[in-house]
Structure 1
Amino acid sequence: MTWKFTSSSVTGRSHADRGENGQDYHRAGSVRIAESEFFIGLAADGAGSTTDGGRGAEIACETAWECIIGTLRQDGDLSRVTDDRIRGWIIASRDAIGSEAANTGKQLKDYACTLIGAVIGKDRAVFFQIGDGAIVVSADGEYQTIFWPEQGEYANTTFFVSDDTCLERLNILHSASSPAEIALFTDGLQNLVLSFSQKKAHAGFFRPLFEALRKDPDNGFSGFSGQLDNFLARDDISARSDDDKTLVLAVQD
């Protein structure tokens, strides 16, 4: 089993028009540990109302990545990864954000961000999510969400790694199978690629992207990423969502 993958984070017009940096962040790649290969995908979205949500998103992804690598090196098998271990990844990410906040004299909430992640091995996978955005996988020719985006009590609100109740809002799923295709994306895309009335993913969006990625001659990280940047920045996409947009795509090759 080998993975072909690509990813992109583009700054939304709402930030660009104000001369601000985007607040999304992602980390994705395949890693070989002992005789096994794993795909890891992470994406985070800094809260738009914060001063340092983008930095929080970066810290959350990078910390979770290191925790996952450490777990895989120790356990070597996703069947041994427990819910408590996954909660530990989230606690470590929150603690790392807290350390940054303390060092800069800011509050934890200034770094508020969502976090979604997937770790996939040969025949197992684990998924986790706090907040909105989503993970979509292919199954029997259909595209299904692992978790539905979580919304807060009010419009355009959600839940964050920095929240005191983050572990209560953490969704975890263990799968005894490995998806052939997977996409992770932040909330800047969710209204475009999900049907909220039917709670389904739009196959017409995902299928052509996965097909293009699969046809790309590169192995591992695909040169298709440049085209993905341009696609996410297109005027028709931006007209439907002026938020930052992150999309991670991966297929088993």
Structure 2
Amino acid sequence: MNWRVVNASDVGTSHIAAGRGCEDSSWASVDRTSAGLEVLSMFVADGAGSALRGGEGAELAVQAAASFMAGALAHAEFGINDALAVELVVAVRSHIYAAAESTGLTARDYACTFLGIISAPGGTLALQIGDGGIVLDVGKGLEVPIVPMAGEYANMTHFVTDEDAVKVLVTKAFTEPVIRAGAFSDGLQRLALNMATNTAHEPFFSPFFRVLSTAPFDQEDELQKALQRFLSSPAVNERTDDDKTLVLAVQQA
């Protein structure tokens, strides 16, 4: 299996106006288990605007996820299941809580959403805490496996740093590997999803997947720069003033 992956983030115009930087973070990689099986991992975290160090929390979350995956893949037995998702979230939380303790702050000061996709020949797992979104195709067309989470009140959501994060964690498992996949922060939700039906907006994703499906492996830098330009374009900034992150993966034939 050959996956082509690309990810990028761009600061929102409202953050620029407020003198803040981008508080999104992402990570995407294709690695191998100890048995030699390829595994795709892609994660997105979005720092809470109300948190003192939300952007740092998002970066810590994806760093912890990457470290967790490296350790999990080294095990003789690697399974993609709900237990893996729970262990991943616990690892992310532990990393953020340790950072908070070392600085004399609280975990809430590092609050961020967290979502991702893990896929291997034997199956795929989507997991999510908070808003933002996931789209994937395991052979039945592009679908939204998890409805983006809203909090109890308007403009609120759940965070991986919340005490009940493991309880509110939502997962969706598939027995097939992904053919196409995307993960994004909530700054792109209204562009990437039909919010009324919680379905993927195919015209948004199709051009990206078409390019990735034929892109040579030596064009990774060019793909990342092109995605960055798209996220910072007037066409996108006219639709959203929030930070934007997009991670994409396509399985090439």
Q: Which whole-Å deviations, capped at 9, do the CAs of 1:101-128 have from their partners, x for residues lacking one?
A: 1111111101000101111112311121
CA gap 1:205/1:82 in 2 versus in 1, 3 angstroms: closer
- Deviation, structure 1 residue 141: 6.4
Quote the residue 2:75 is aligned against. 74
Gaps of 5+ in 2: none
Deviation at 1:133, TM superposition (A): 0.7
State the distance in 1 between where 2:133 and 2:76 align.
27
Q: Structure 1 residues 127, 8: closer, same or farther in 2, change over 3 A?
A: same
How far apart, CA to CA, are the structure 1 residues paired with 2:177 and 2:219?
17
Structure 2 counterpart SS, 1:21: coil
Q: What is the Cα deviation at residue 222 of structure 1?
A: 5.5
Which letter maps to 1:59?
L
Seen in structure 2, the aligned counterparts of structure 1 residues 153 and 199 have a Cα distance that, compared at 3 Å, is same
- Tell me the alpha carbon deviations over residues 135-189 of structure 1, each in whole angstroms, 9 at most, x when there is no partner: 1012556321110100011111100011011011101122100111100101000
% same residue: 35
| Distance apart, 1:191 and its partner CA | 1.2
After TM superposition, the score normalised by the length of structure 2 is: 0.94
Distance 1:40 1:221, change over 3 A: farther
Is the contact made by 2:139 and 2:179 (CA closer than 8 Å) also made in structure 1?
no
Equivalence for 2:164: 165
- CA distance in 2 between counterparts of 1:105 and 1:223 reads 41
1:10 corresponding residue in structure 2? 10
Deviation at 1:77, TM superposition (A): 3.6
Distance 1:32 1:106 in 2: 37
User: What aligned pairs does 1:121-132 form with structure 2 within 5 A after superposition?
Assistant: 121-132=120-131
Tell me the amino acid that sits aligned with residue 63 of structure 1: A
**Per-residue displacement from partner, 1:5-39 (whole Å, max 9, x unpaired)?**
11101111111122211110001011123321111
Secondary structure of 1:164 counterpart:
coil
SS in 1 for 2:157: coil
* CA RMSD, Structure 1 to Structure 2 (Å): 1.6
Structure 1 gap ranges (5+):
none
Which residue number in structure 2 is paired with residue 103 of structure 1? 102
Secondary structure at the counterpart of residue 172 of structure 1: strand
